[in-house]
Amino acid sequence: MPRKPPSPADQALIDYARKQEVVVTNTQLEHWRRVGLLPANTPMRQGFGGSSSQPAYGAADLVTWLGRHARRGQRTHDVALRAFADGHTVPEPTVRAAFLSAVALALPDPVAGGEDAGDLAQDAATRLPGRDATALIPRRIRRIDARIKAAGISFAPAELLSFDKGPALAEPFTPADFQLMATTVALDGSELNGTGMAALVRSMSPAGAAVPGASMLEFPDGVQATELADEAGNTLLPTGDVRAELRRVVEESTLERLRAGWMAAVERRSWALNLCDTVEVELATGTLGDAVLQWMIATAFGPMRMEIQSAVHEKPTPHGTACTAVMLLWQARQLTWLQEVEPDGLYHLFFALLPPYVLRLLGLEPIGIADALEAIATADPA
């Protein structure tokens, strides 16, 4: 039988795309609706009991985008994320499903599998070779560290050493150790203790570097991060399967917030790559400036350096960007919660050193690294 011709509303979508020099067929419209990429037309009532429909808000531009970018074989979730990130009105259930898929993480279920998180994590770790931790650091990062040392700059200046009490653990950190920690934490967030994270932070730093950020985890002054909780039972670090916490972020975030998280994830990678570029230029020209200073601060801070290394190492994909976006949204939410639970903390000094993409998620304006250090140096201890 011949195909039914497109409805007037669908024909309007096809005609709109054609005006943008994009060829779209009725079959494509049906497929995109079937997989959730395109909203249904909006019904309109007419007199004498008749009815018609019109394209949903934003559907014309979305159809044009899909006509340009959607291809056979692409994952629906990937197409949905890219269209959503470009500002198009992809149906909300599809957007949320795509983000949820990104944070599902391909890990076994401790309950269904009959094993606890520790056993499952240990099993995953034993499959990796026992190489040195430097294998986890991108080559570009190692080259920059070597050039900084060759320029006569110390990663352990006296000013930083005075704030670093030294490693609590002397054992080397290997890729197998990393897999063990990553899997254990994903299956049970309460396993993320300060000493274990500090060992990871130190292993990702140049040999002999002073890392006060790791020292603060090893020798906490006051309440430890794993002990912070409010009266409702909310905690700073997740307890149980972290995937449930990430799903909660997706489910509770508005679409605008999810898009902000995506933009932050994209900026995270460009910020890290631009920092590497600028550091290399400063080292090549011998005009050491803010970029090298930022690099040194990131190394001393620890977790920030790991963010840089992760951003440099990863390959940008819709799935990976969405996962990073949710992680950043979770971090921003927890930092906001921490200020409510512990209101007396010197957060303005801590925030001054955070990357710009994190500050924007917190609703703060980024400042230059030199200004940030000046603010810290002149801060009133009271």
How does pLDDT run across 281-333, given as a tens digit for each residue? Answer: 999 999 989 899 889 988 888 778 888 988 888 888 999 999 999 999 999 99
- Convert the pLDDT of each residue in 15-66 to its tens digit: 999 999 999 999 999 999 999 999 999 987 665 555 688 999 999 999 999 9
Name 128's Cβ contacts closer than 8 Å, sequence gap at least 6. Answer: 174, 175, 176, 179
Binned at pLDDT 50, 70 and 90, residue 159 comes out as: confident
Give the three-state DSSP class for 205: coil
pLDDT tops 80 at residue 232: no
What's the confidence (pLDDT) of residue 208? 86
Which of 199-208, 260-269, 341-350 is the least confident region? 341-350
What's the confidence (pLDDT) of residue 130? 43
Helices (H), the chain: 8-19, 26-34, 59-69, 76-85, 92-102, 110-113, 117-125, 139-150, 158-161, 175-187, 194-203, 212-218, 242-252, 255-285, 290-301, 303-313, 318-341, 347-351, 356-361, 369-377
Q: Nearest 5°: CA angle at 347, between 342 and 353?
A: 150
More confident residue, 287 or 339: 287
Give the three-state DSSP class for 17: helix
| C-alpha span between 309 and 200 (Å, rounded) | 13
Detail the DSSP E strand segments found in the chain. Answer: 42-45, 51-54
What's the confidence (pLDDT) of residue 35? 96
Which of 163-172, 197-206, 345-354 is the least confident region? 163-172
Report how far apart, in Å, the C-alpha atoms of 213 and of each of 161, 238, 300 are.
Answer: 11, 21, 6
> Highest mean pLDDT range out of 198-207, 243-252, 272-281, 373-382?
272-281
What's the confidence (pLDDT) of residue 128? 40
What's the confidence (pLDDT) of residue 144? 96
More confident residue, 190 or 88: 88
Residue burial 103-122, b: 16+ Cβ < 10 Å; e: rest:
beeebbebeeeebebeebbb
| C-alpha span between 122 and 105 (Å, rounded) | 17
Burial class (CB in 10 A: 0-12, 13-18, 19+), 185: buried
| C-alpha span between 181 and 175 (Å, rounded) | 10
Distance between alpha carbon 187 and the CA centroid of its chain, in Å?
18
For residues 177-205, give the mean pLDDT. Answer: 70
More confident residue, 356 or 106: 356
pLDDT tops 90 at residue 280: yes
| C-alpha span between 356 and 372 (Å, rounded) | 12
Nearest CA to 133 among 75, 180, 93?
Answer: 180
pLDDT tops 70 at residue 365: yes
The two three-digit tokens of residue 167, written as one number: 């490693």
pLDDT tops 60 at residue 157: yes
Which of 79-83, 140-144, 159-163, 243-247 is the least confident region? 159-163
| C-alpha span between 201 and 222 (Å, rounded) | 21
For residues 360-377, give the mean pLDDT. Answer: 72
The two three-digit tokens of residue 279, written as one number: 């550091």
Nearest CA to 191 among 103, 106, 126, 119?
Answer: 119
More confident residue, 231 or 125: 231
pLDDT tops 90 at residue 367: no
What's the confidence (pLDDT) of residue 86? 96
Name 54's Cβ contacts closer than 8 Å, sequence gap at least 6. Answer: 9, 12, 41, 42, 44
Residues β-bridged to residue 42? 54
What's the confidence (pLDDT) of residue 161? 84
Detail the DSSP E strand segments found in 243-332. Answer: none
Phi, psi (5° rounding) for residue 204?
A: -90, 0
Burial class (CB in 10 A: 0-12, 13-18, 19+), 367: middle
Distance between alpha carbon 199 and the CA centroid of its chain, in Å?
22
| C-alpha span between 276 and 294 (Å, rounded) | 10
Burial class (CB in 10 A: 0-12, 13-18, 19+), 19: exposed
Nearest CA to 337 among 232, 262, 247, 203?
Answer: 232
Name 358's Cβ contacts closer than 8 Å, sequence gap at least 6. Answer: 264, 328, 331, 332
Q: How confident is the prediction for the chain on average, in pLDDT?
A: 82
Report how far apart, in Å, the C-alpha atoms of 131 and of each of 77, 128, 137, 258, 355 are.
Answer: 36, 8, 12, 38, 31
pLDDT tops 50 at residue 241: yes
- Convert the pLDDT of each residue in 67-121 to its tens digit: 999 998 899 999 999 999 999 999 999 999 999 999 986 555 544 444 455 555 5
More confident residue, 170 or 139: 139
